[in-house]
Amino acid sequence: MHATLFLPLLAFLAARCARADPYAQRQWTLPDYRTPYYTVYPPLDAGNATRDFVVQQVDELSGLQDYGTTYMQYRDGGGACQVNNISFFVFSDTTTMCMTTGDWVCFTSNSLATNAATNQPQQLADISASPENKCIDFTPFSEYELTENENYWTRFALWAFSDCVTVNDTFAVQFFQVERFYGWTSYFLAGSSMGQYSLDLDNNNLTVTRESQYFFMNTTYTYGSFATLTVNDTAYLYGLDEFYSDRSDLHLARVLLTGITDVSQYEFYNAATEEWESSAPYVTSRREDAAAMQSNIPLSSGSFYFSEYHNQYVFIFFSNYVDNTFRLMTSPTPWGPWNMSDDALYYATPGPNGYNYGAAAHAMYYQTDGEAAGKTVLLHYSYAGEHGTYPRAARLTFA
């Protein structure tokens, strides 16, 4: 699912191009551009939906790219983030190619691109994957990880699939999956890491920091690396059971925004008892009864948000590793009960290889004074094209 163009070669090249920073911190300058969305304050228990989810209009958009350059970025996954109305995406494995010659320029484990036009959300401004910053990852590796990445046969990868959690006007966090490679294409989920984003409003500088290699180990669920949802002053963090449920169960943690960097302040939902527990479970087998969402389908990726327009919490997702159909579930609360009908919303035309992956949904572009949040949503996904994988988008408007 997560492999980008010519992964064996690029894993080797990435290791050779990585810059050995002594500290796990990096700073980037963002464009002075704001997305005029407003913050929604949803009820914790919304009750019944006020509208059905009927798609009225679909606008096919082009690929999510920086169209002002002569370079093409092929990249996987991607989570969105908004800090002080600056909207940006963090993508996973990213390859930069020269459009005119087709030459390889660089490869990074993840990359940063900001939104450049509200009415054209597919228009990005590349930051970290630009040729000027070639082969420098947006999120820094530790010295230990860099040392391991120098080995031809191994590497660590930091992949973003979930949206960040905005804490205030200058601070946010994002959870990255820490993938451990043994051999060219064999890898497994080792845990999750927290990237902390600090925004300097005077200079539009974004500093990203990783204080440790892991925030959650894979001996529990990697809460937040699958999806996140912020409800007023609380973050809800969804972790996928990858090892025991065939990717079918989602488990849930919550924490006040003020304590999100302190794992001791987290609580963990047990659906069997309908209670929040203070200790993260140590997982040695499937705990289907404790999961906030149990299904019979292997979840690939997806996003949660509250639709003000429908008065429901929404989960939009792909139901297989490789898929083309965006599906929807709804719930009155962040923890359920979820409507498991998984209604089909939109069919994304597959690439030449017959599939897409990496489904994500974003409502922030359309949370304006003239339109209730959730009436229109931006979908994006990884399109497996002829020469590589890149994100494409579609805009859905509900009746």
Mean pLDDT for each 10-residue chunk of the chain (399 residues)? 36 35 77 86 96 95 91 92 93 92 91 88 90 84 90 88 97 97 88 97 95 95 98 98 95 98 98 97 96 89 96 94 91 95 89 89 84 92 90 95
358 in the Ramachandran plot: left (φ > 0), alpha (ψ -120 to 50) or beta?
left
Domains of the chain: 7-398 (2.115.10.20)
Structural tokens at position 335: 């923890």
Query: Which tens digit of pLDDT belongs to each residue from 262-316?
Result: 999 999 999 999 999 999 999 999 999 999 999 888 899 999 999 999 999 999 9
Task: In whole angstroms, give the CA distance from residue 272 to residue 128.
Answer: 44
Q: Report the pLDDT value the prediction gives residue 169, as an integer from 0 to 100.
A: 95
Q: Report the pLDDT value the prediction gives residue 16, as an integer from 0 to 100.
A: 33
Residue keyed to tokens 């489904």: 359
pTM, two decimals, is 0.92
Range list of H helices, 88-183: 143-149
Q: Report the pLDDT value the prediction gives residue 7, as an integer from 0 to 100.
A: 33
Q: Report the pLDDT value the prediction gives residue 23, as an integer from 0 to 100.
A: 53
Query: Which tens digit of pLDDT belongs to each residue from 307-356?
Result: 999 999 999 999 887 889 999 999 999 999 999 887 899 999 998 888 89
Structural tokens at position 373: 């949040």
Distances (CA, A) of 48 to 252, 313, 378: 22, 10, 24
191 in the Ramachandran plot: left (φ > 0), alpha (ψ -120 to 50) or beta?
left
